[in-house]
A and B are shown apart, each in its own frame.
Chain A
């Protein structure tokens, strides 16, 4: 009887020690599965160009498997990449944005959308534009010496015009 109790106590102690170690090192654990389960959006701002979802070819508009649109924007001193984005009107778009250096804010003039881009994290927003037209997307957070010239454009086109010409692949404006 008492041997059993001792065994249980031993296992409890081992589990406790493991929990303490894991708890103390919790910030250093970086498993993609854990991240997606927790809804974490951590990302290394220094190596965005090497791997992950913000590599060059992924920026802009991408159609996901279920047909929804994801817009990925990389903010940096003093540009938003891509510099000009084409989106269809009346279609919900999922925005994912991160920063490579300072804190930037992507603001779409004439609408309520204002999304903060923080280095080290991915910010998300659901957007939908009902009115076709051209919108300015300036940076609304002071980010450095060239902040006042940090500005990109958004072109919203009618839905039937959206699957664009080949030059506008990935939601980038052609010849702009």
Chain B
């Protein structure tokens, strides 16, 4: 049998030390790379990302618990999700993910509001989910017997034409996508609110804030970009069109859900 020549004890130690040193160097380089990638100073629009875990958290909301919590919200947002003032958003039949994201952003101070920030701070993530599920279950159509600001007065016909064009087909030459491709009723983007029953003054204020950069909690900045491309007249026309209920689908007027 031939003799197996294994390296001497001293040599083996050196060999092991070299392996350990290179392993250590690799781990250190890895940690350094991680740190470099993490340390980019930049604006973070929102701490939310739509992972499976997030979707589960929101969908687990309890509507009955939401009903009890919503007693606090009724004064401004209305007992059935329709507010009395056109400045305050309607929440009836709103996407639960949209409501939940805004509450999280209010708490994280990603979206500023003197009213909503303290309210969001007094609730927790589970309350947001309960409230979001509760409001998303309301019927879509506003009851005219109630004291509601929606729908508002129809804007001038020139504004209707401008708004209908932007909502239905956008402006391809300027690169403005149609509103209905993300805000319904044609299609919805994750976390985007339905606008077909939203108040005009509220929509106009938000478009102005997005364009000015004072509201900057849109993930990957679609709304800051689009609102910046729109002229002030177009923003007003869009808000008026949505606020008058003109974007509602024909079948929706009898109380059917938009989704």
Contact = CB atoms under 8 A, between A and B. Distances in A.
A136 B176 CA distance: 14
Interface stretch (B36-44, B93-101, B236-244, B251-259): B36-44
Given A49-B219, A79-B222, A149-B170, A56 B45 contact: yes
Contacts of B114: none
B186 interface: yes
A149 B174 CA distance: 8
Main secondary structure of the interface of B (DSSP, over half): loop
Question: Chain B: interface residue count, which band?
Answer: 35 or more
A57 B40 contact: yes
Interface residues of A, number: 38
A65 interface: no
A157 to B, nearest CB: 20
B171 A50 contact: no
Interface in B185-243: 186-187, 189, 219-222, 225-226, 229
Given A51-B40, A56-B45, A148 B172 contact: yes
A52 interface: yes
Interface stretch (A18-26, A29-37, A110-118): A29-37
B172 A151 contact: yes
Contact of A33 (B30, B46, B226): B30
Contacts, number: 106
Interface in A43-62: 46-53, 55-58
B175 A149 contact: yes
B178 interface: yes
B220 A48 contact: yes
A97 to B, nearest CB: 13
Contacts of B38: 51
Given A36-B33, A58-B40, A77-B189, A49 B45 contact: yes
Given A36-B33, A51-B38, A146 B45 contact: no
B186 A145 contact: yes
A32 B220 contact: no
A150 interface: yes
Contact of B225 (A55, A81, A153): A81
Interface string B45-58: 11101110000000
B42 A56 contact: yes
Given A32-B30, A51-B37, A151-B172, A78 B181 contact: yes
A34 to B, nearest CB: 8
A71 interface: no
B1 A58 contact: no
Contact of A81 (B173, B177, B178, B220): B220
Nearest to B51: A46
Given A46-B50, A145-B180, A57 B34 contact: no
Contact of B175 (A4, A34, A83): A83
Given A56-B221, A79-B177, A149-B172, A4 B4 contact: yes
A74 B187 CA distance: 21
Nearest to A48: B220
B169 interface: yes
Contacts of B123: none
Given A4-B4, A46-B50, A79-B225, 6 more contacts: A31-B30, A32-B37, A36-B33, A51-B40, A77-B182, A81-B221
Interface pairs A-B: 8 shortest CB-CB = A146-B181, A57-B42, A146-B177, A78-B177, A149-B170, A145-B181, A151-B175, A32-B33
7 contacts: A1-B1, A4-B6, A31-B30, A52-B40, A58-B40, A145-B180, A151-B175
Interface of A: 1, 4-5, 31-34, 36, 46-53, 55-58, 74, 76-79, 81-83, 100, 144-146, 148-153
